[in-house]
Amino acid sequence: IKGTMNNARLLIATSWGSNVYGGVAVFAKDNPVKVEMAGHNLDIQMSGFNNNHDVYGIYARNQKEINITNETATGGKKGAITMSLDNSANDGGNVYGIYADTAKVSIDGDVTITKAATTSNGYAREFTAIRTVNQGSEIDIKGKFTMSGKSITGRGDLYSARHVAVSLNGNRSKIHIHSA
């Protein structure tokens, strides 16, 4: 999946009467999403966003679920997910790998973030690899999660810049990573 400002700009939400847009590769907002990898790899590449757009690799919200499976993989060979999330052309958008907002994300396979780039002009606020927000959110990865510090580039503003691997927010929220 190659997402750019031209093909992956989506209405994420409405906040205080304004539309909030962002770039999302796999998104469950109005309906649940199931992706059957069948032993094949899923390569997510997001880049080329501007105007304060946040970038997400995988994002579920509104009590919807994203279920990425390998149910039909032959010979036990599971596909893996690789993400390159480049928001360095942006004026202030955040970067998120896997994000659940009052929703559930379930992944049956290894996940690797090879790139998480924020802007270097002093406005980007946050990169979080795995994040839950609000009550009852859940992320379940049945596989290894890999990301090196070299994968993260850019700097944020001096007051609120954060580079976080895992962030758990919300009552009764859960994050499970079942390393093989």
Q: What is the pLDDT of residue 11?
A: 77
Q: Where are the beta strands (DSSP E) in 92-137?
A: 95-101, 104-107, 111-117, 126-133
pLDDT digits (tens, 9 = 90+) for 144-156: 999 877 777 766 5
123 pLDDT above the threshold of 60: no
Q: What is the pLDDT of residue 120?
A: 57
Q: What is the pTM of this model?
A: 0.88
Proportion of the chain above pLDDT 70, given as a percent: 86
pLDDT digits (tens, 9 = 90+) for 131-142: 999 999 999 999
φ, ψ for residue 149 (rounded to 5)?
-60, -25
